Amino acid sequence: MSAYREYLETLRRAFPQPVSDQEHDAWFVFSVLRALDRVDGMKSQCPVLGDAREIDFSLATQSVVTEEMRTVESVSRELVDHLSGMFIWGHPRSQINVIPPPCIPGILGTLLPAIYNPNICSEEASRGVAFAEAEVISMTAALMGYDPARSGGVFTFGGTGTLLYAIRLGIEKAVPGTLQNGLAGEIPVVVCSGQGHYANKTAASWLGLGLRNVIAIPSAPDNQIRLCLLESELRRLLKEGRKIACIVATMGTTDAFGLDNLEQIRELRDQLVHEFSLDYVPHLHADAVIGWAWSVFRDYDFTLNPLQFPDRTLRALAGTNHRVRHLNLADSIGVDYHKTGFAPYISSAFFVRDAEDLRLITRDQSTTPYLFQSGHYNPGRFTLETSRSGSGPLSALGALRLMGKTGLRTLLGHLVTMAETLRNRLSAHPAISVMNPENFGPVTLFRVYPDDVDTFEFPRLEQNEAAFADRLHQYNEYNRSLFRLIQSEALQGDGVVISMTDRYRETEYGQPVVALKSYIMSPFSDQQYVQAVVESIDRARVKLKAEPMIHG
Ligand SMILES: *Cc1c(COP(=O)(O)O)cnc(C)c1O
C-alpha cells in the first residue's frame, strides 16, 4: 500500500462513518464520552473548570501545524485542556453576566448540525434544518405578538447582527435605492438611548454611517430613554431636514435591565411622520435581545398566579411584562436565544413585523447563479452571511421545545425571585445602595461604601452634584478594590463570582459610575448563594479596612 493510502485509512477512522458501522459508531460516542469525562474531572466546589491561572498569550506564537498526524484521543485531550479556567455559568456560585448555561436540548441542537453540517443558506443544503429555522421564527414571532403569517425573520451572527439588519433596512427606507447606488449626500442617523448597547455603534459604523451619526439620548434613573429628550432631538433633526434611518428602543439594557417605553416611542414616531409629512416612516427597532424572553408572560394570569410566584416576584414580572408586551409595535425585533433562552452561542434572530420589508435588501437572482436552483425557502437571497450554521435555529428549537412557556416562566421567575432576594438583603445593608431598584430583571447593580457614608443620602448627591466628584471617584476605586477581593475569594471556592461595570451610567455632570453587578442566570441558584454574596462583601470590607493599601 502506498504511504498516503495508509494515512488515509487512519484518517477515515477519524470521521463519522457514512454507512452505519456499529462498532465505529460506538467508538465515536465513546470519544465524546471520554472528552466529557475529562471535563467532569475539572469540576470542583469552585465555579471554574480546572484552575484559573493567568494565560500567557505570547506562548501562542509558538504553535505551529505539525508534520505528523495525531490520534483523535490525543487531540481530544488537548481540546478539553483549553476549557481550563472557564467559568461554569450554570454554577450557583456564578452570577457574572447575561451568559446562560445551555440546556441539554440546546446543546444537542449544536451537536447534531456539527456532525451533519447543514448550511441554512438554502433549503437544498439543509432541508429539515431550514424548516427548524422557519418554525422557530414563527413560534417566537407569535410569542412576541407578531402575526406569523405576515412577519418574517432570519437567524444571524448575534445581537449585533440583528442591529445591522435593522439599521440596514432603515437606511433603505429613509434613502431608497442605496442597495444599488450606495449612500451619497446627507447621512441618515440612528437614534437610541445612552444605555443602548455599543453594538448600535458597531452596526452604524460598519454600515458607513459613522459613529457621529449615532445619537444617544440620555436615560432616566430607571435606565429607560428619556422620552421628552427623544422627542426634542427627533424634532430638531427633522427640522434640520435630516433623515432618520432607525430609532432603536432597548428592551432590556445590558447592565441594568432598563426597558424603554416602546408604546410611547411608537406613538411619537407616528405623530412626527404625520406632522412633518415625511415620505418615509423612520424604522423602529426593538433591541430585545435580553427582554424578548419575558414575552412568555404576555398571557400569564397574574391574578391567579398558577405558578405561585412570591408577591415580589409577581410584581417584578408584571412590571417587565407591562413594557415587553408592546414588542409587536416595533417594525423589527432582535432576539438572542443565547442570552435569555438558554441556548449555546450563536443563536440569534432578526424579526420583521412585515416580511415584505425583507424585499428591500433582497439580492437579484442573477447575482447568485450557482445557488437556489431548487426549493422554496432561500433566505440566502437576502441574508448578510452566505453560509449559515444550522446550530442557531436547532439549539433555539431544542430549548423552546424543552421549556415551553411553563418552563421559561419557571426559570425566569426563579432567577427574578433570587435577584429580588438579593436586592432585599443588599437594601437592608447599611453600607450598600442598590443602583437599579426600579429595574425588575435578574441583574442587580449596587455600590458599596465605607462605614462613614450615609447611604440614604450620598448616592443621590454623588449622582447629581459635581461638588462630590472627588468622593465619587474615591468610591469608584473602593468598589474596584472590593471587586478584586470578592473575585479572588470566589476563585478559591468561597463566596460567589460577581462582576463589575466600569460605567453602568454617568452622573449628571458626566462622570462614570462604577457598580458591582450580580447577574443571576443559573437554574441552580438558591437562597444560600444569595446570602453568600452579602457575606463575601462583608469580609471584603473588613479586609479593606485592615489594609487600606489595597485601596489604590
Ligand atoms: C448583548 C447585547 C447586544 C449584542 O448582542 P451579541 O449577541 O453579543 O452580539 C446588543 N444589544 C443588547 C441590549 C445586548 O445586551
Domains, the chain, ranges and CATH? 21-63+70-81 (no CATH), 410-545 (3.90.1150.170)
Indicate whether 153 pLDDT > 70: yes
Confidence of residue 547 (pLDDT cuts 50, 70, 90): confident
**For residue 194, how far is the Cα from the chain centroid?**
17
- Residue nearest ligand 1's atom 6 by CA: 159
Helices (H), 286-390: 311-324, 337-340
pLDDT per position as a tens digit, 64-106 = 999 999 999 999 999 999 999 999 999 999 999 999 999 999 9
335 CB near ligand 1 (under 6 Å): no
Judged by average pLDDT, the poorest of 116-130, 321-335, 431-445, 537-551 is 537-551
Q: Which sign, positive or negative, has the C-alpha torsion 126, 128, 133, 137?
A: positive
- Residue nearest ligand 1's atom 14 by CA: 254
Mean pLDDT value across residues 338-354: 98
121 CB near ligand 1 (under 6 Å): no
pLDDT per position as a tens digit, 249-266 = 999 999 999 999 999 999
Indicate whether 468 pLDDT > 50: yes
Please report the pLDDT score of residue 369 as a whole number: 61
| Rounded CA separation 291/322 (Å) | 12
Q: Which of 159, 258, 233 is nearest to 202 (CA)?
A: 159
**Helix%, strand%, coil% for the chain, nearest 5:** 50, 15, 40
SS3 state at 180 = helix
Please report the pLDDT score of residue 374 as a whole number: 61
Q: Cβ neighbours of residue 235 under 8 Å, at least 6 residues apart?
A: 272
Strands 283-287 and 244-250 turn out to be: parallel
Confidence of residue 371 (pLDDT cuts 50, 70, 90): low
Mutation test residue for ligand 1: of 163, 197, 501, the one with most atoms within 8 Å of CB: 197
Mutation test residue for ligand 1: of 99, 155, 156, 160, the one with most atoms within 8 Å of CB: 160
Atom of ligand 1 nearest to the CA of 252: 13
* 110 CA → ligand 1 middle, Å: 20
Confidence of residue 141 (pLDDT cuts 50, 70, 90): very high
Confidence of residue 45 (pLDDT cuts 50, 70, 90): confident
Q: Report which secondary-structure segment, H or E, holds 389.
A: none
Mean pLDDT value across residues 283-292: 98
Mean pLDDT value across residues 59-63: 96
Residues paired with 286 in a beta bridge: 249, 333
Helices (H), 100-221: 104-116, 128-143, 159-174, 178-181, 199-206
| Rounded CA separation 438/440 (Å) | 6
| Rounded CA separation 500/445 (Å) | 9
199 CB near ligand 1 (under 6 Å): yes
Please report the pLDDT score of residue 20 as a whole number: 94
Is 0.85 surpassed by the pTM of this model?
Answer: yes
Q: Which of 196, 112, 70, 151 is nearest to 390 (CA)?
A: 112
* 325 CA → ligand 1 middle, Å: 20
For the chain, the average pLDDT equals 95
Q: Which sign, positive or negative, has the C-alpha torsion 460, 466, 471, 476?
A: positive
Confidence of residue 361 (pLDDT cuts 50, 70, 90): very high
Atom of ligand 1 nearest to the CA of 161: 9
Residue type present at position 551: H
Pair 217, 254: CB distance under 8 Å:
no
| Rounded CA separation 66/63 (Å) | 9
Indicate whether 551 pLDDT > 50: no
Pair 306, 268: CB distance under 8 Å:
no
Please report the pLDDT score of residue 368 as a whole number: 66
| Rounded CA separation 549/552 (Å) | 6
Atom of ligand 1 nearest to the CA of 160: 9
* 257 CA → ligand 1 middle, Å: 12
Q: Cβ neighbours of residue 509 under 8 Å, at least 6 residues apart?
A: 465, 466, 469
Pair 75, 120: CB distance under 8 Å:
no
CA separation, residue 438 to residues 25, 96, 104, 420 (Å): 54, 20, 34, 11
Q: At what angle do helices 128-143 and 391-428 cross, to 10 degrees?
A: 40
* 101 CA → ligand 1 middle, Å: 17
272 CB near ligand 1 (under 6 Å): no
| Rounded CA separation 300/293 (Å) | 13
Mutation test residue for ligand 1: of 290, 333, 335, 521, the one with most atoms within 8 Å of CB: 290
| Rounded CA separation 110/398 (Å) | 9
Cis peptide leading into residue 115 (ω within 30°): no
Supply 312's cell numbers: 415580589
Indicate whether 211 pLDDT > 80: yes
| Rounded CA separation 202/121 (Å) | 24
For residues 186 and 143, the model is more confident at 143
* 86 CA → ligand 1 middle, Å: 21
336 CB near ligand 1 (under 6 Å): yes
Indicate whether 440 pLDDT > 80: yes
Indicate whether 376 pLDDT > 90: no
Atom of ligand 1 nearest to the CA of 157: 9
Mean pLDDT value across residues 232-247: 98
pLDDT per position as a tens digit, 110-119 = 999 999 999 9
Mean pLDDT value across residues 364-378: 69
* 167 CA → ligand 1 middle, Å: 15
Q: Cβ neighbours of residue 229 under 8 Å, at least 6 residues apart?
A: 217, 218
- Residue nearest ligand 1's atom 4 by CA: 159
From first CA to last CA, the distance across the chain in angstroms is 69
250 CB near ligand 1 (under 6 Å): yes
* 159 CA → ligand 1 middle, Å: 5
Helices (H), 144-258: 159-174, 178-181, 199-206, 227-239
Mean pLDDT value across residues 228-248: 98
